[in-house]
Amino acid sequence: MATVTHTSVRPATHTPVHRRRSRRQPWGYTAIGALILAVMLFPVYWMVNVSLQPANTAVSTPWFPTHLNFHGYATALSQQGSNLLTSLVVAVGSVVFSLIIASPAAYALAHVNARWVGPVLFGILISQMVPGIVVANALYSAYNDLGLLNSIPGLILADSTAGIPFAILILRAFMGNIPASVIEAARVDGAGRVRAFVSIVLPMSRNALITAGLFTFLFTWSDFLFALTLTTTEDVRPVTLGLYQYLGSHVSDWNAVMATATLASVPALVLLLVAQRYIATGVTGGAVK
């Protein structure tokens, strides 16, 4: 009787080449990303490094701050402290004013079915394309007649011209995803339109409100065009214009200039770190229905 022998085949112990490559690729991408991030952040590092050096040593600044010197920050606070406070007041005022105007406008555009909604949205998009210098020149003539030049309310209104359209677009995309049944339930319980908007819509739109407010703050905080056009005296001068005046003369105290720039970067950096999880949700909130 013939016997049949079974030959057992052992599985291969080596890893396929494509699998080994797929494991190595993430490390390569990480290294490339780290290199790009280092190149982009080097100017920020050099700014902080120069701000911590003694005066008149910008040319011979070492790569690492071995002997820390905070004289530049003391000079920056004494000379630019009022400008930093002006920028903070204008930025916060622009955020509040923009959200007050944009929130009900976005809610109306999201939940009102009318023929005028499309043209209004198109007009808002067109307003985003108008160059800032055109708006600044138009505002200068109007501000000169109204007495709003060299005033904090004037800068708040000017910066809000860019914050309001952007906030409307962000908030409308988010509020459009709020179920109409939730608002109708509040109306059935006796809430009016304003009460339903304040008590239901705004709390549910928290992420979008934070996102719109943050971007409005960043735009206002870094604004230079409106500050240069609508302020002609030293009474009201944002920090961006203060830095420009610093560089307008023969600068020898570079550590004070870099210290001012570092202080001007702190509020934006802190807000981005605190609100980063709200930004991701607020920006993508209206992307998928």
What CATH number has the domain bearing residue 273? Answer: 1.10.3720.10
pLDDT 10s digit of each residue in the chain, 289 long?
444 454 445 554 555 545 555 555 578 788 888 889 889 888 888 888 888 877 665 556 777 777 777 888 888 888 888 999 999 999 999 999 999 999 999 988 888 777 888 888 888 888 888 888 888 988 998 999 898 999 999 999 999 998 999 999 889 888 888 888 888 888 787 777 788 888 888 888 888 898 899 999 999 999 999 999 998 888 888 999 888 877 765 566 778 888 888 898 888 888 888 877 776 554 444 444 4
Number of domains making up the chain: 1
Report if residue 41 sits inside a domain.
no
Which tokens is 133 given? Answer: 């210098």
Report if residue 70 sits inside a domain.
no
Report if residue 58 sits inside a domain.
no
Residue 67 Rama label (left phi>0; alpha psi -120 to 50; beta): beta
Which pLDDT value is given to residue 1? 45
The angle at the Cα of 188, spanning 187 to 194, to the nearest 5 degrees, equals 15
Which pLDDT value is given to residue 282? 47
Report if residue 69 sits inside a domain.
no
Report if residue 52 sits inside a domain.
no
Report if residue 62 sits inside a domain.
no
What is the span of the domain harbouring residue 144? 80-284
Report if residue 4 sits inside a domain.
no
Report if residue 1 sits inside a domain.
no
Which pLDDT value is given to residue 258? 86
DSSP code for 67: S
Cα of first residue to Cα of last residue in the chain, in angstroms, is 73
| Tokens 């043209």, residue located | 119
